[in-house]
Homo-oligomer: A and B are copies of this chain.
């Protein structure tokens, strides 16, 4: 996971709707810029990958471990009721794993978040504070 992937670049739709919170040579973790749910997106830097089964097994294991670990820490940090973890990608085909903290009664609960309503962006100060907290609570210690 330490090799840089020169052929890979983040899909522009992911870039437009997210804020980066963590990056290493193998993947980037983004915060969805939607205050309705605490929502991370793990994107392996593997050009052309659309499905989890497109990844080399060792890379896949590392990506899944990091997504699961991020989910565990996000659950503690947000005190949420359930983590939703998913690779959907029907629209944006670049492989990306959603890790979302769901609280009973949140927007569209208990149905899923994708495709529901309109995005509600954080205001910049709120986003900056949350990013700081995520870095401190999720990403200051090794993820897996």
Q: C-beta contact mask, A85-108 vs B, less than 8 Å → 1, else 0? A: 111111101000000001000000
| Secondary structure dominating the interface of A | mixed
Q: How far is the CB of A84 from chain B (nearest CB, A)?
A: 5
| Interface size bracket, A side | 20 to 34
Q: Which residues in chain A, 58-117, are within 8 Å of chain B measured between CB atoms?
A: 60-61, 64-65, 68-69, 71-72, 75, 81-91, 93, 102, 109-112, 114-115
Min CB distance A100 to B, Å, is 9
Residue A118 lies at the interface, judged by CB distance under 8 Å to chain B: no
Interchain residue pairs A-B with the least CB separation, the first 4 = A86-B86, A90-B110, A111-B115, A53-B72
